[in-house]
Chain A
């Protein structure tokens, strides 16, 4: 069974640009969450999607957005990139459905560098 796939693995962007990151969950998983990992702030929750609906959102500015498609694949977008957006972005997909026991499976992440 294939794991969570995140593309691309590495990305370099310039300040002011925008970026889209992709996450393909494990087959059959309908929940996806996104996290930002930085040395200073650690792992911070960005948002969670279930069946194309955003269930939860973390404390990030509106430049960070996401969506989920009918096939459960998810994308997150960051507009007007800032140097501080440089981070490892991790996607997790979940077994079960909200309200039942779930377990998170993480992808290897996308390393975004803003220059």
Chain B
């Protein structure tokens, strides 16, 4: 069975500092990997995804994540965070058969950016 572990439940960081949110997954099959962001009282928004090809994927707002198959990780990074990045971040996995239709989520990491 697939599972996702987000190693930090809360990450406090100062504005303009770098941040890394860690995600490890467990799966015996080929996977697709996703990061979603959730703002209070909102649904989930896709931040970035790895389906195939280059192992480094980037979002339009400066986040990036690297798929590391040997370490079964998909950590999310941003070199300089803003107050507006304060939100909860979820790592998710789906197997290549389901193609994203059935997502298994980690428990979430609450990112708190302080001025």
Contact = CB atoms under 8 A, between A and B. Distances in A.
Determine the interface band of chain A, counting residues with CB < 8 A from chain B.
20 to 34
Given A42-B107, A43-B90, A103-B49, A50 B101 contact: yes
Contact of A48 (B45, B101, B104): B101
A48 B102 contact: yes
Interface in A84-108: 90, 92, 94, 96, 98-108
Main secondary structure on A side of the interface with B: strand
B43 A98 contact: no
A109 interface: yes
A108 B106 contact: no
B46 interface: yes
Given A33-B103, A42-B107, A98 B44 contact: no
Nearest to A9: B41
B71 interface: no
B101 A31 contact: yes
Interface of B: 34, 36, 41-46, 49, 51, 90, 92, 98-108
Given A50-B101, A92-B103, A101-B100, 18 more contacts: A33-B101, A33-B102, A43-B105, A44-B105, A45-B103, A48-B98, A48-B101, A55-B98, A56-B98, A56-B101, A90-B44, A94-B100, A96-B99, A102-B99, A104-B100, A106-B43, A107-B43, A108-B41
27 contacts: A31-B101, A33-B102, A33-B103, A42-B107, A43-B90, A43-B92, A43-B105, A43-B108, A44-B105, A55-B98, A56-B102, A90-B43, A90-B44, A92-B44, A92-B103, A94-B100, A94-B101, A96-B99, A99-B99, A100-B99, A101-B99, A102-B101, A103-B100, A104-B34, A104-B46, A104-B103, A106-B45
